[in-house]
Structure 1
């Protein structure tokens, strides 16, 4: 009987060691922020099979922005315990080289096995780190009481509807009132602070953000959703798409904030 139970016990032990908790994600993400501020990726609990990419280009971590010290003027993170992924938005406006860095950390057995970043700087779409910093600091992303939290499916559907509406103006998007969008350094909430200023126009057709390019991080406690995606149309030199990120705060099923970071192959995406 013992030899029959042993594989079961080993499997249960393995499952226990692989448990993903919010506190684990928070602790590791705090280390990531320290690592980026100091340019010291060796601070991170890296897995032996780590993969690292910036703007959809794979590279050694020693060649990435994380190996360069970057002042972290502001940061905000989401924690997805279902997928064991954290997302962090870093705004760096005061250094000699301003950045907005959006990073997904993917974990296996408490080790980071994949790092994916959208790294924006001068020349990327409407980039302005100083403006970005001034606006992200004013937003309220307080934890949502457990009885009022939206489900993962509601959060995901809100973000998908927003992206889908760019190619199909008939798609109903659950915008809140107010709703404000921060696109690069351009902020819509200044125009009408108490209105929905998030609605986007329908882009020239055909336009489609393919589902297989969308990578989600979902945090029910913060009403947070992040989607890494491939953005077509915007960059004249890359009509099939360029690296992009959309971050959402959803309250009672309605979108309250949207942040967008989009990378350009040429200055201003050639527009």
Structure 2
């Protein structure tokens, strides 16, 4: 009986691994980008025969996928994706500078080879430091090439660096491992040399969701940011996400996209 259980578990693990390969996540992410560019959210229609439902969220709120940003048709000027084969998820940063400008961060969650959750932070005019042209320019300047295998950090090291960065906002005793040339892209604003932030307590970050890519040394963290937007309650706060590049255990790049429920909360 024990041997049968072990074989069954091994088979299940093999199936899950096969469905969460880097190539399969790349294909699903490419399908999402094509849908975003084409304004055709019907890319999920084959999943209707699957028993797993699709949850679609924009700025932390569930909405009809046919009425969201996926239905609009966006000329994508830039995109960058990371792939998490352990969590079966991808994260993609998208910049559009023509017609209606956007900076969008989307996490795709995959179960049994199907997208079961699309979670997007959709930033446009009036959101925190929004400037799509600036985001495009600085994104294009950065190097996010794959890290040589011998120099890659473990998943645990990358996650710890990401946690240290955002946890230090409310705890002065935490010293994140910043690279000497750390750069932070916040909206369309680019700051170099000093990436540390700190805010007055109490400061609690809730609802963390991670996407980690060892090959690119990257971690993206969806979470909520307290007190920024007076239009909503301090807790849980504003929907935001931070994408970090970690090289040699040090944080080199940080990208933050934050939504304002009340437009121009950044001013």
Alignment of 1:38-117 (within 5 A): 38-44=38-44, 47-48=47-48, 49-94=53-98, 96-117=99-120
Question: 1:35–1:44: 8 Å Cα contact kept in structure 2?
Answer: no
Quote the residue 1:149 is aligned against.
Answer: 152
> TM-score scaled by structure 1?
0.90
Unmatched segments (≥5 aa) in structure 2 = none
Q: 1:174 & 1:15 partners in 2: Cα distance?
A: 35
The one-character-per-residue Cα deviations of 1:186-221 (angstroms, maximum 9, x if unpaired) are: 1113xxxxxx22122x212211213xx110000000
Structure 1 SS opposite 2:264: helix
Quote the residue 2:216 is aligned against.
Answer: 222
Q: 2:195 & 2:10 partners in 1: Cα distance?
A: 47
> TM-score scaled by structure 2?
0.91
Q: 1:233 & 1:167 partners in 2: Cα distance?
A: 12
Question: 2:129–2:266: 8 Å Cα contact kept in structure 1?
Answer: no
Quote the residue 1:178 is aligned against.
Answer: 181
Q: 2:25 & 2:46 partners in 1: Cα distance?
A: 13
The one-character-per-residue Cα deviations of 1:203-246 (angstroms, maximum 9, x if unpaired) are: 12211213xx1100000000010000000021122222010010
Q: 1:39 & 1:17 partners in 2: Cα distance?
A: 32
Q: 2:13 & 2:156 partners in 1: Cα distance?
A: 25
Please identify runs of 4+ aligned residues in structure 1 that moved more than 6 A: 7-11
Question: 2:36–2:73: 8 Å Cα contact kept in structure 1?
Answer: yes
Indicate how the Cα distance of structure 1 residues 17 and 41 shifts in structure 2: closer, same or farther if over 3 A, else same. Answer: farther
Indicate how the Cα distance of structure 1 residues 226 and 46 shifts in structure 2: closer, same or farther if over 3 A, else same. Answer: farther
**Cα root mean square deviation, aligned:** 1.9
Displacement after TM superposition at 1:41 (Å): 2.0
The one-character-per-residue Cα deviations of 1:36-93 (angstroms, maximum 9, x if unpaired) are: 1111122357644111000110012111111110111000000000010000000011
Structure 2 SS opposite 1:25: helix
Question: 2:127–2:266: 8 Å Cα contact kept in structure 1?
Answer: no
Is structure 2 residue 252 aligned with structure 1 residue 256? yes
How many pairs are equivalent? 258
Q: 1:143 & 1:186 partners in 2: Cα distance?
A: 25
